[in-house]
Structure 1
Amino acid sequence: MASFTEQFIDVDLFAREVVKRYGDGSADACLAADRAMALSRVPPATGMHRDFSTIAPDLPLLHAEKCVGCMECVTVCPDTAILAKVVPASTHAQLLKQLEGREHGAYVARQFAKTTKYFDVPARKGHEGGMFYLAVDPTKCKGCGECVQACGSHEALSMTPKTEAVLDGHRAAAKLLRELPDTPRAYIQDKVLADMMLAEATHLYCGGAASCMGCGEATAIRMMLAATAFVHGEHAVGIVAATGCNTVFGSTYPYNPYRVPWTNSLFENAPAVAMGVRAMWDRAGLRDKRLWVLGGDGAMLDIGFQSLSRMLMSGMDIKVLVLDTQVYSNTGGQASTSTFTAQDSKMSAYGRAQHGKSERRKELAPIVMMHPDVYVAQTTVAHVNHFYRAVISANAYPGPAVVIVYAPCMPEHGIGDDAGFGQSKLAVDARAFPLLVYDPRAGESVKERLSLQGNPARKDDWYVTPKGETIDFVTFARSEGRFARHFDAGGNPSPELLKARDDRLKNWRLLQELAGLR
C-alpha cells in the first residue's frame, strides 16, 4: 500500500495534513516518517499555503488614479505577491454592485484602475475597454518594496504600515483576484511582453519560497517560467537545479513554490543530470517539452563549468539559466570566478594585505560563444523586453542555449531590499554587466551573430547621461556596500577600484570589437 505522503495528489489535502502541522510545530509528533518524506517529495505549489504576513511592517498600497498598467511591479516581484488581471468594463460595473454589499468592498473597489493601455486603446479600436485590477497578497509579500521602486516616476505604489484594516483589505482584494476569470486574450498585447503575466497559466512560480527580501534570483526564475509557459504552455517545462540559493529557498520542506516538475542535483553536475532527463524525454516522445537548468555563477562558472561545457558540446536541446550573483551566496558570500575585481567577499576580503579580489572577473558569455552552435544571452530583470525575448529565443533555438542574468543579492552586494531593479539597470549602464545576444542563426560571422542592442551609447566607452554625468564602474561601485572600503573619506576611489574599472572597460571594448562596433 502506498505511504501516507505518496497518496497526496491534492495540494489542499497536503496543506491540511502536512503543511498545517509544520506551521503549528506539531509535525514531529503527528506525522509518521515514511519513504516519501525521507526523500522530501513535495506536491506542486504548496508554497501558496505559506503566510509571510507577519514578516515586514509595511505593504505596498495602490494609488489607482496614477497607475498606467505597465506591469513592471508585477514582473519584478520576487514572491508572486502582486498580481493583476484585466476585466471588461461591463464585468467591472457588475462587480462594483456586488462589492457594495461585501465587507471591505469599498477597499477592493479601489484596486481597479482605468488606464489608457487597457481601456482607451481598445475602445478606440471599437472593442470594449478593460479595467486593470491590481492586488497584493499579504500572505506572500515580504515587504521588500521593490515594486514601489519599479513603479518609479508613476508613483502609483507606496509602502503603507500594516494595520488590521490594511491587512483585511488586502486579503479581500487578493481573494477577488483569485475569483476573477482569466484576463481575456484580447487585452494581452504580444508586443508588450510584460503583459504575459496577466495570464494565470504563466504563474508557474506561486511564491511561498524562503528567499531573502527582494531576491534577484527569484525574480529571474519567475520571469523565465512565465515566458516559457506563455509560449509553450504551463505543462511544457521542467527544471533541473544545481545546489545553491535557488534550491534552498525553493525546497524548504514542505513548501514548494513551483507548479512544474523539478529536481535538484549536486552543485557541479546539474547539466549532466539534464542530459539524462533530455534523453529520457526524447525517447518518450516529449521532444517539445522545454528543459531548463538553473544554477548560480559558482555552479556554472566554477566547479560545474566542465559539466556545462560537456552539455553544450552534446548539442542537446537544453536551456540554462545562470543566476549571476558574483559570489557563492549559498555558502556565505565566498568569491567566485564571477566576482568583480576589488569586490569585498569571503575568501577575498578587504584587509591590510589584500584589498578585495585581485583577479579579473571571468566572463561566461564569450566562453560559451566559442562552443559551436550555442545560443547565448546576457540580460537583467530590469530590461524586461530584453529578458523575455532572450528566454523566448532560447526556447525556440534548436539546441543548447545559455541565458546569463544579473541577480542582485541584497546581503552580499550590500544593497537595500528594494534595490534589485535599480541596481540591475545601473550594472548595464556602467558596463559592469553588458546586455548581449549571440544567435548562431543570424549569420556566419561573430559580427553578424552578436548584438549589443539595449546597452546605452553602444559605440562609446562609457554612457554619459543627458545631464553630463559619466556612468562608469566607479559610479556603480559607489552605490554598493561590497565596494565601500575602496573609497576614502573624500569619496576618492582606491587604485584597486580603478583597476576594476579598467577591467570592465576592456571587457566592453572586446564585446564592441566582436560585434563590429569598433
Structure 2
Amino acid sequence: LYIPENCTQCMECITACPDTALPNTAQDVETVLKTAITNYVSDSAAREALIGHVPAIEEAARARMIETTEAKEKLPFKEIIKEQIGALNGAVTDEAKAQLDAILDVVPIAYNKVPAIFRNIEKKNPGGGGIFSIFVSDLCKGCGECVEECGDHGALVMVPDTEELNQTLTGAQIFSRLLPDTPQKYLGLYNDDAPEDSRPAALRNHLMVRRNYEALVSGDGACAGCGEKSILRAAASITEAYMRPLYHSKADRLYEKAGKLQKNGLAALEKMKAADEESYLLFKRAFAHVVTGLGGESNEDTEERLEAHGEISEQDVIEGMSAVMNQDAFNHKLLQATDGRLANGMSTMFMG
C-alpha cells in the first residue's frame, strides 16, 4: 500500500521493483483536478461548473499545500481539495461533490515531501509546483522488495490483500491511465527528448515516463523479488529511453521522404531515364527484386518472373517505395506492439 504523505520521491522502490507494478507520474495540480472532474462527475452542467472553479480551487489549495509543507505537516492532498470543494457551497450540486470526493479518496497524491516536484519548483516559479503519485498495480505479486527499499520512510507498507484494497488500487490504476505522460519540467536533469545529454544521477527519472516504464511487460508470476528481473527491466527501460527518440526521429524522416517522393518522384525518374537509361532500367530492376519480390534464382529466372508479372510502371515504383517508407515509419512510431500498451512503435529491444 502506498502512503503518499510519507513519500520523498527517491525512486528507490520503482527501480527495485521486479515487475512493472509501480507506475508513477508527476502532474500539474490543474491536470489532476480537470481529469477527475471530466471523467468522474456525471452531470454535464456540474462538470462545467466545477471546471470553471478549478483556477480558484487550485489557488486556494496551493496556498494550503505550501503552508502544510513549511509546517512539515502531513495533511493529505485529498483533504485539501475536499475542503475547497466544500467551500463552493451551492455553486455545485452535492452529487457532483460526492462523485469528486469518491475519486479523490482512491487516488494517492504526494506533495509535502517531494521537493523536486512541488516545493523547489514552487519557489522558483510560484504556481508551478506539482504533485507526485505511485499507482500500485495488479501486477504486484507481493514480494516486498519495494517496502524493503522504502525502509524508514514508510511510504510503502505490506497490508492484507482484500477485495476492498483491490477495488481501491484498480480505481487508482484506471485514473492513472487517464492522465497524460509526465511533463518534462518534472523530470529534472533527465531530458526525455535527448536522454544521452542527461545527468547520470537523474537517469532514474526516465521511469516516470510511461513508455519507458512499460518497456518490459511484467506480471508473469516469476519468483518473488528476484534481483535478475529488476536488472532485466532496467536494461529494457533504459534502452527504450535512449532509442525511442531516435526511432521516432527516423520515422519522421521517413514520412518526410515518402512525401517528397510522392510529390517529385515521377519527375526524378524521367530525369534519370533521360540522362542514363541504363541506370534507369537497373534501378527499376532493383525495385522489382527488393520491393516486389520478383527476383529469381538466376537472371533467366528473374526475366521469366518479370515477363509473367508484366510491366512495372514508374507510378508503381513511386507508390511501392513510398509504401515501404511509410510502413517502416509506422512500425517505428505508431504501431501498438502490445495490447493495452502505448501505440508507440515496435520494441526497441528487437528492432535493428
Interval of TM-score (by shorter of Structure 1 and Structure 2)? 0.3 to 0.5
Question: Which has the larger Rg?
Answer: 2
What is the TM-score when the length of structure 2 is the normalising length?
0.48
Which structure dedicates a bigger proportion of its chain to helix?
2
TM-score under structure 1 normalisation?
0.33
Work out which structure has the larger RCO, using CA pairs closer than 8 Å and 6 or more positions apart in sequence: 2
Greater fraction strand = 1
